[in-house]
Chains A and B, each alone.
Chain A
Amino acid sequence: MIPRFLLGNGRTDGGRHQASLGALAPAGVAATVVYVLFIGLPIVALLARAGQQEGFLAGLTGELVLQALRLTVLTSVVSMVVVVAVGTPFALLLARRRSTLLRVIDTFVELPIVLPPVVAGVAMLMAFGRNGLLGPALGGLGVTLPFTTAAVIFAQVFVAAPFYIRAARIGFAGVDPTYEEVSQTLGVSPWATFWRLTLPVAWPSLLTGLTLAWARAVSEFGATIMFAGNLTGRTQTMPLAIMTAMESSLGSALALAVLLLAMSALALAALSVLLRRTGSTA
């Protein structure tokens, strides 16, 4: 599910093992060429078409695109704050404690990764909808969740959190607990130990997980349209706006698509730079 190069420590063995591939090397080269073309061609085509499309530039600065961009940035940032605040201590517990219950929870946490997002949306309606399980209780407090910006954040956290928690757990598990114990026997408080020892060592994994989670939140579609609806400025994030624009203005749809592509590429590039920097100091 998660590419290994993203979950790993960011280091590869360079060219050292080239020889050992032997007769498999030509197949590897051929597969690489085919795969790069397969992934690259649609992206090149998207950019080429966007460059020629009437209404592309107008779309870039149009109200539909700007509102969707603003909403997407806002909701995905809030979602990531929630994911980090809840996911970090949770992942630490999963990495440090062993129990059957935690192992079950550990597996359960990853369910949203494999669950179709539209199922997540239906499930959230059944739980938090006005007629859902918690609907009457929430209604009693004067809270209605469906079709609000909060619902967009709920949907994003639901589908994206596992990507962070999973990577964070692996990162924390890679920190030798003996060091933490030594640190604490030397009189450093558990908090200070976490900040000065555990966090810096696990940092690359946390960062990788956060990037993946953010990318997943930004691309969230199925759960959002089901649970949060589709209203410009309130719940219409960029993927929803693309679908709406595809049926009215191809220029705006392409503008949104190119923006999303740029955001994803930027996130990957930033991650790679940050990993290299922390890699050299760690």
Chain B
Amino acid sequence: MNSGFLALALAAAALALAVMAGGCAAAASQDAAPKNMLTVFAAASLGEPFRAVADAFEADQPGVKVTFNFAGSQALRTQLEHGARADVFASADWEQMAAIRKENLLGNTPEYFATNRLAVVAPVGSNAVPSLDDLARPGVSIAIASEEVPAGAYARATLDLMAESADFPDDFAESVMANVVTHETNVRAVAQKVALGEVDAGMVYETDAKTGQLDGSFRVIEIPLQFNPAAEYPIAALGEAINPQVALDFIAFVQGDDGQAILRDYGFAPPANVACPCHDPVPTGSVAPSTPQ
């Protein structure tokens, strides 16, 4: 191989690398460019309410543009742990927020901003599950979120509480879990499978149930409060926030009267307690610990 060939090859390689680097730089500058762009990673169950909150926030703060990444909180946590850039993280449980906090990725102290609870939903046309007891009847098909998803963890805790009570048989939780045909990766996917009528019932949040009931796709079976631990949603700014001040403003807006009113419209209750269990050496959620059977 002569030196002219080598020089040309090197030049071409350099050019190719420059093009790739240019692409990366362009992508990176796209991340940083809009000064008032706010990126919010939020639990799937916050979809509609947070869009409405963002509309109000944008009207309140001209020039600010909010973009969302809605997914299961555990998926958002994984993305953030692997380097995703965001300004605000709103999780459906404390576990995911605690994991982010443990990695030192937060920019401020998380606070609870809303409370949700679970409900069982069934397709409108189906009579397979008239009451909670029927969830355990053989042959019924059920969708729940997977164990890693906050809604899935709450669902398992709820079933365990029911099994422990005198109102349900001792093997209630196992019987229901035996009827589960799919573990979805976020609570909205559970709601969607029920709305399509592909399963007889699903365990979702009351807020999802309310939305689906309003548009006529669900029948809602309420879960009594004693079996229904509060799902408390924490929110925090991220340490790598591109716009830390806008991030804090957004969080304050969510916690303020306007934000809370919108969340209430969508069925969320105000937080029982604003302070997160941030001083615990071992993060604990608000869910009662499930008892292994």
Query: What is the interface of chain A, defined by CB distance below 8 A to chain B?
Result: 23, 25-27, 29-31, 33-34, 125, 129-131, 144, 146-148, 225, 228-232, 234-236, 243-244, 246-248
User: Are B196 and A244 neighbours in the complex by a CB distance under 8 Å?
Assistant: no
Q: Spot the interface stretch: B38-46, B57-65, B143-151, B158-166.
A: B143-151
Evaluate contact between B181 and A244: CB separation under 8 angstroms: no
Give the number of residues in B that approach A within 8 Å (Cβ atoms). 33
* Given the contacts A229-B182, A230-B184, A33 and B146 also touching, CB distance less than 8 Å: no
Q: Which residues in A have their C-beta under 8 angstroms from that of B141?
A: 144, 147
- From known contacts A131-B197, A248-B147, A248-B148, infer whether A230 and B182 are also in contact, taking CB-CB under 8 Å: yes
B149 to chain A, nearest CB (A): 8
Residue of B nearest to A236 (CB): B183
Measured CB to CB, the nearest residue on chain A to B126 is A130
Nearest-Cβ distance from residue A44 to partner chain B, whole angstroms: 18
Is A229's CB under 8 angstroms from B146's CB? Answer: no
Interface residues of B (CB under 8 A from A): 5-6, 8-13, 15-17, 20, 72, 74-75, 77-78, 141, 143, 146-148, 180-185, 193, 196-199
Please tell me if the beta carbons of A146 and B198 are within 8 angstroms of each other in the complex.
Answer: yes
Of all chain A residues, the one with the shortest Cβ separation from B184 is A230
B97 CB to closest chain A CB (Å) equals 15
A31 to B9, CA, bound (A): 9
Instruction: Find out whether the CB atom of B78 lies under 8 angstroms from the CB atom of A230.
Output: no
B13 engages A30 (CB within 8 Å): yes
Task: Out of A25, A26, A148, A244, name the residue touching B148 (CB < 8 Å).
Answer: A244
- A130-B197, A230-B184, A236-B183 known; 5 new pairs, CB 8 Å cut-off, are A31-B16, A125-B196, A131-B196, A229-B183, A246-B78
Query: When A147-B182, A247-B74 are in contact, do A30 and B10 touch as well, CB less than 8 Å?
Result: yes
Instruction: State A146–B143 Cα separation when bound (angstroms).
Output: 12
> Which residue of chain B is the closest to A126 with respect to CB atoms?
B196
Whole-angstrom CA separation of A144 from B16 in the bound complex: 53
Complex-state Cα separation, A228 to B181, whole angstroms: 9
Tell me, rounded to whole Å, the shortest Cβ–Cβ distance linking B201 to chain A: 13
A-B contact list, 30 entries, CB within 8 Å: A25-B5, A26-B5, A26-B9, A30-B13, A30-B15, A31-B12, A34-B13, A125-B198, A129-B197, A129-B198, A130-B198, A144-B141, A146-B198, A147-B141, A147-B182, A147-B198, A148-B181, A229-B183, A230-B146, A230-B182, A230-B183, A230-B185, A231-B182, A232-B183, A234-B181, A235-B182, A243-B185, A244-B146, A248-B74, A248-B148
